[in-house]
Structure 1
Amino acid sequence: MKPQVPSTRDRILTAANNLFYNEGIRATSVDAIAEKAGITKKTLYYHFPSKDNLVARYLESRDQPNLEIFAQWFDACEGTVADKVGAIFTGVGEGARHPKWKGCGFQRTVAELANMPGHPAVQVGAAHKKKFEAWLTVKFTEAGIDKPAEIARHIVVLMEGTFSILLMHRDADYADATAVAARQLVKAALVR
């Protein structure tokens, strides 16, 4: 059986993922992506009509894998829902300890496009964060937490702050500290 060869579109997205995440959106040219994908710029534009479109598709390609890893960390943790939420922050901290970690790709992209709130990638980033919040709300509802949407929003704020401080200080101990805070917040909500 022959190994499956990635499609041209997949090669472009893989190149964009690598370059956008490692170098940034504005610092990465369409020429660099085409070169890394082993195609011409014309071919890239055949598959993605603009760089803005490609940036949005880059974030879309990261959406489900990121949500799935949060769910894996949550589900793998034994204990209460508070412990499981803490495990998500611990997982983020472990990821941040990797030398190639460059922060949350969604947050970094939206920061680069802050002066363009209507940009399609900003909308994709916002939708991703809302999906995480909605997923937490479901988990908190299942656990019997009073005001699950409110607690989910608090956890999202903690997560975004964690990503920011990790990027700023490059010290994964901040994620461990936030894991403690998140566990305490959820535990307090369980007691009510």
Structure 2
Amino acid sequence: MAPSLLPTRDRIVSAAAKLFYSEGIRAVSVDAVAEKAGVTKRTLYYHFASKDDLIAAYLDMRDHPNLALFKRWFSETEGDVADKVRGVFYNLAGSARHPRWKGCGFLRTSAELANMPGHPAMKIGVAHKKRVEDWLYGVFEAAGLEPQARTLARQTILLLDGSFAVVLLHRDPSYMETAGEAAHSLIRLAGLLE
């Protein structure tokens, strides 16, 4: 759907998402979002009580599509559960090779709001990361990797989020592939311990 045909609220969130992801939430003003969305500042504030609410809506919009993408990459990768999880990392590395890639919007936002743990966007970020962890737990549980399924899910999240940070720092997506290999090894090892 063309941006001008989107409902006003969705158009504002879409404009905010582009700006927040490319420039950071603190660097982008409400005026810039309104301008990009093609609305007045008053209209923006009609739909969002504050910039904080807009930031939360931006992350909320990313939640389900991001997890759906991980699930798709997982299901499209051939092999066992270890291969499929590694496939998620390799697909992320492919995304990280795109010039407009700026890392994980949830982690970048949490870094900008680190001194505000009660911020609505922080709560959405925590919930998103928990959903990803719970999905991985379910994957590992279904693969018969109990009692290590929860630990494997946490280890995989740590590798995932750590790779986001290191790739942003070095601008080298191969770190994400290396993290995928580490996840693959951990999952295989857990399978051997059964």
Which runs of 5 or more residues in structure 2 are unaligned? none
Q: Identity percentage over the alignment?
A: 55
Aligned to 1:87: 87
- Distance, in Å, in 1 between the alignment partners of 2:10 and 2:136 is 31
- Cα distance, 1:190 vs. partner? 1.1
- Cα distance, 1:5 vs. partner? 1.6
- Distance, in Å, in 1 between the alignment partners of 2:177 and 2:78 is 17
- Alignment map for 1:1-192 (pairs within 5 Å): 5-146=5-146, 147-192=148-193
C-alpha RMSD of matched pairs (Å): 1.1
Partner-residue secondary structure (3-state), 1:36: helix
- Cα distance, 1:4 vs. partner? 8.7
Partner-residue secondary structure (3-state), 1:168: helix
| Aligned structure 1 segments of 4 or more residues deviating by more than 4 angstroms | none
| Number of residue pairs aligned between Structure 1 and Structure 2 | 190
Is residue 145–residue 190 contact of structure 2 (8 Å, CA) maintained in 1? yes
TM-score by length of structure 1 reads 0.97
TM-score by length of structure 2 reads 0.96
Letter in 1 for 2:153: A
- Distance, in Å, in 1 between the alignment partners of 2:154 and 2:170 is 24
**1:90-145 Cα deviation digits (max 9, x unpaired):** 01100100000001000000000001011000110011000000000000000000
- Cα distance, 1:40 vs. partner? 0.3
- Cα distance, 1:191 vs. partner? 1.2
Letter in 2 for 1:181: A
**1:65-90 Cα deviation digits (max 9, x unpaired):** 10011001100011110000101110
- Cα distance, 1:163 vs. partner? 0.4
- Distance, in Å, in 2 between the alignment partners of 1:122 and 1:58 is 12
